[in-house]
């Protein structure tokens, strides 16, 4: 704000309050129009710092976002509700019905029906009904639903353990890809340094120009390998992001815990766990039970069934619990009860029921064969998976030593080359050997973790 006054004129002190008030109002108006700075909420913090996921975090996210796993859980929920409905079929059902049957009278004093459709001219029914069915089919359906629920539960466990294998493979695939990218970066830096060394030695007349050409070729190859490893790392990140995030978030980090040891139990312990916790065997046993109860339900088409109905309420010519009887000259009670029992005996169905029984027998025999095969397959897979885990674990120490020896070999070979005691081919070979040894060690660690996860599909966690 600019304040004008005449030159040499004294400034009047009585104007100060008015000027200060005007300035305060201007500042307040400016502050209202100025937008407030955004607060640093969780979204801003997550955008600035991507989440770091452990393997357990990845498993929890995958269980929420995997359609196959969620489909298995949905099937389990549906099977549970089928069991609830089958159990309800074994219990009595109660209902309440209110009906009116209106028939035209003949118009005489007796008022008899001109069209006999009911027990009187006006018939009112308002009564409760308890209905119970005694049938082998209802029992077989309930046992079938219970076995189907057990089958769905076993399949959900199979899906959960299979999801663990998928997540472990993708998770450590990204970890190994990141390691390989770091190894290729180191190899590219070593190739650059070796190219500089060969060029300096060529200027000093100590090596031929062919050494510089070979060093240049190695330098270009390492850069191509670096680009390929970067592409492989990005693909691994995309594969894992599809499993973990519903919004396809690529901005995350993973924890490299491949150095942490994972114990492998002895084979007798693994065998005992597989006998108790193998979901594939449980699924085969449950499938056999389902087929057996299908046979029970099929037999119901050849055997009698019975039903009982108990009625309580009114069935009278007036809609009331009491009415006046002119003959007895008093009020009578309209409430009453009745029981209806029936037996259904199948006589002839043109062989359809026998055909259904034969179909159920065929499915039961097939389920027995599949159970026997599942038992043999489980024994074979247990030995194969355990052998894979044991072999990959025993190779880890050798792969680690090879990686360390490859580092020392490259360092010594480079020093010998600078001293004129080794050739350029030996240096290039040492560089490639170190890269291969480092990558092989990373692959070996991921292989052991994957073999453990695969073995746990039969045994559960240990």
Lowest mean pLDDT among 29-33, 204-208, 442-446: 29-33
Q: What are phi and psi of 81, to 5 degrees?
A: -70, -35
Q: What is the mean pLDDT of residues 45-65?
A: 85
Mean pLDDT of the chain: 87
Out of 44-48, 49-53, 65-69, which region has the weakest mean confidence (pLDDT)?
44-48
- How far is it, in rounded angstroms, from Cα 181 to Cα 392? 23
- Rounded Cα distance between 227 and 233, Å, is 10
Query: Can you tell me the distance from the alpha carbon of 265 to that of 273, in angstroms, rounded to the nearest whole number?
Result: 10
Q: Is the per-residue pLDDT at 416 higher than 80?
A: yes
User: Which CATH architecture describes the domain 92-104+115-134+304-345?
Assistant: Single Sheet (2.20)
Could you give the C-alpha distances from 85 to 70, 81, 89, in angstroms and in order? Answer: 23, 6, 6
Task: Assign 428 to helix, strand or coil.
Answer: helix
pLDDT single digits (tens) 298-336 = 999 999 999 999 999 988 878 888 888 777 788 888 898
* Rounded CA separation 332/122 (Å): 18
Segments making up each domain of the chain, as ranges: 52-91+135-303+346-459, 92-104+115-134+304-345
Tell which wins on pLDDT, 289 or 18.
289
Higher pLDDT, 382 or 110: 382
Alpha-carbon distance 36 to 28, whole Å?
Answer: 14
From the CA atom positions of the chain, what is the Rg in Å?
Answer: 43
Rounded CA separation 194/215 (Å) = 7
Class of CATH domain 52-91+135-303+346-459:
mainly alpha
Tell me what pLDDT residue 42 has: 46
User: Quick check: do 52-91+135-303+346-459 and 92-104+115-134+304-345 share a fold?
Assistant: no
Q: Give per-residue pLDDT as tens, 116-175.
A: 556 677 788 898 999 999 999 899 999 999 999 999 999 999 999 999 999 999 999 999
Phi, psi (deg, nearest 5) at residue 104: -70, 130
Q: How far apart are CA 300 and CA 191, in angstroms?
A: 81
Q: How many residues does the chain have?
A: 462
């Amino acid at each position: 704000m600019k304040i004008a006054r005449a030159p040499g004129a004294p400034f009047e002190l009585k104007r100060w309050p008015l000027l200060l008030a005007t300035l305060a109002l201007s500042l307040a108006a400016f502050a209202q129009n100025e937008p407030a700075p955004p607060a640093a909420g969780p979204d801003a913090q997550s955008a600035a710092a991507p989440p770091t996921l452990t393997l357990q975090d990845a498993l929890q996210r995958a269980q929420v976002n995997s359609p196959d796993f969620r489909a298995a859980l949905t099937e389990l929920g549906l099977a549970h509700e089928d069991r609830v409905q089958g159990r309800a079929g074994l219990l009595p059902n109660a209902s309440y019905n209110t009906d009116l049957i209106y028939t035209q009278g003949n118009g005489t004093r007796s008022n008899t029906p001109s069209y006999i459709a009911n027990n009187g001219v006006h018939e009112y029914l308002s009564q409760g009904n308890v209905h119970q069915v005694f049938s082998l089919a209802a029992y077989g359906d309930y046992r079938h639903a219970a076995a189907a629920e057990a089958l769905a539960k076993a399949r959900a466990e199979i899906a959960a353990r299979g999801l663990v294998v998928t997540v472990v493979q993708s998770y450590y695939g990204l970890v190994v890809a990141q390691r390989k990218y770091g190894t290729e970066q180191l190899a590219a830096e070593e190739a650059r340094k070796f190219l500089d060394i060969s060029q300096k030695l060529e200027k000093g007349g100590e090596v031929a120009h062919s050494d510089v050409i070979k060093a240049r070729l190695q330098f270009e190859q390492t850069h191509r390998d670096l680009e390929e490893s970067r592409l492989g790392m990005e693909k691994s990140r995309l594969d894992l992001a599809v499993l973990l995030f519903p919004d396809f978030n690529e901005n995350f980090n993973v924890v490299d815990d491949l150095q942490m040891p994972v114990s492998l139990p002895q084979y007798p312990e693994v065998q005992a766990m597989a006998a108790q916790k193998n979901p594939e065997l449980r699924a085969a046993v449950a499938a056999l039970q389902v087929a057996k109860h299908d046979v029970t339900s099929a037999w119901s088409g050849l055997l009698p069934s019975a039903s009982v109905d108990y009625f309580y309420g009114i069935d009278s010519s007036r809609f009331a619990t009491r009415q006046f009887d002119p003959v007895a000259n008093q009020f009578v009670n309209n409430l009453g009860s009745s029981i209806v029992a029936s037996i259904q005996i199948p006589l002839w169905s043109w062989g359809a029921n026998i055909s259904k029984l034969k179909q159920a027998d065929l499915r039961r025999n097939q389920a027995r064969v599949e159970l026997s095969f599942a038992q043999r397959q489980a024994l074979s897979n247990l030995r194969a998976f355990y052998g894979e885990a044991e072999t990959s674990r025993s190779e880890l120490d050798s792969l680690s030593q090879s990686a360390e020896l490859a580092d020392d070999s490259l360092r010594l070979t480079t020093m010998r080359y600078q001293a004129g005691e080794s050739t350029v081919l030996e240096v290039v070979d040492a560089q490639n050997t170190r890269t291969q040894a480092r990558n092989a060690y990373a692959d070996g660690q991921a292989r052991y973790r994957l073999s453990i996860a695969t073995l746990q599909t039969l045994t559960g966690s240990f």
